[in-house]
Amino acid sequence: MQHDQLSSTFAALADPTRRAILARLASGEASVTQLAEPFEMSMPAISKHLKVLERARLITRGREAQWRPCRLEAAPLKDIAEWIEHYRQFWEQSFDRLDDYLRKLKAKDKRHARKPRKN
């Protein structure tokens, strides 16, 4: 199940239009008409994107009367954010170690500076 959820999150995020829709929803809920405004796209095309986002549980649609506002759902994005955080920690700690290692190499280099070197 978890695997399927992350798969559909990635598939939904692969499209630039859908990413733009999510970015817009990050600043508050909006109607389909409002979401369609910045794109040169037909309403059915936008609705299709919204359905993909809804299935990936990245958005929910309200029940309020006519305009059924779309809202961003943060939970699936949290998975991705966690992943990125995981990468970040990995790289930062590796960078620290690389920093120490390069310092050591330089120190060694200085000690051997007077001797002829192979490289």
Partner 1 sequence: MPASHAKTSTTANPLERELTLTRVFDAPRDLVFQAWTDPAHLKQWWGPNGFTTPACEVDLRVGGAWKIVMRFPDGSNEHTMQAVYREILPPERLAFTSVALDKDCNRLLEGLTTLTFADLGGKTKLTLQTRVTGLVSYAGRMLEGMEAGWSQSLGRLAEKLASPTTTSDREIVATRVFDAPRELVFQMWTDPKHISNWWGPRDFTTTTYEMDVRPGGVWRHVMHGPDGTDYQNEIVFLEVVKPERLVYNHVSEPPFQTTVTFAGQGGKTKVTARMLFESATLRNKVATEHHAVEGLHQTLARLGEQLTRMAGPADQEFLFTRVFDAPRSLIWKAFTESERLMQWWGPKGYTMLTCTVDLRPGGVFHYSMRSPDGREMWGKWVYREIVPPERLVSVVSFTDAEGNLLRHPMSPTWPLELLHTMTLSEREGKTTLTVTGVPTNATEEERKTFRAGRNSMEAGFTGTLDQLAAYLASGHDVD
Cβ 59 vs Cβ 50: under 8 Å: yes
Which residues 100-119 are close enough to bind partner 1 by CB under 8 A?
100-103, 105-106
Least distance (Å) between residue 105 CB and partner 1: 7
Cβ 32 vs Cβ 70: under 8 Å: yes
Contact status: 99 vs partner 1 (CB under 8 A) = yes
Residue (3 or 63) nearer to partner 1, CB: 3
CA dist., res. 45 & res. 36, Å (int): 9
Which residues 68-97 are close enough to bind partner 1 by CB under 8 A?
77, 80-97
Least distance (Å) between residue 16 CB and partner 1: 6
Cβ 22 vs Cβ 58: under 8 Å: yes
Contact status: 36 vs partner 1 (CB under 8 A) = no
Q: Residue ranges of the alpha helices (H) in the chain?
A: 2-13, 16-25, 32-36, 43-55, 75-111
Binding stretches for partner 1 (CB under 8 A)? 2-3, 6-7, 10-11, 13-17, 19, 22-23, 77, 80-103, 105-106
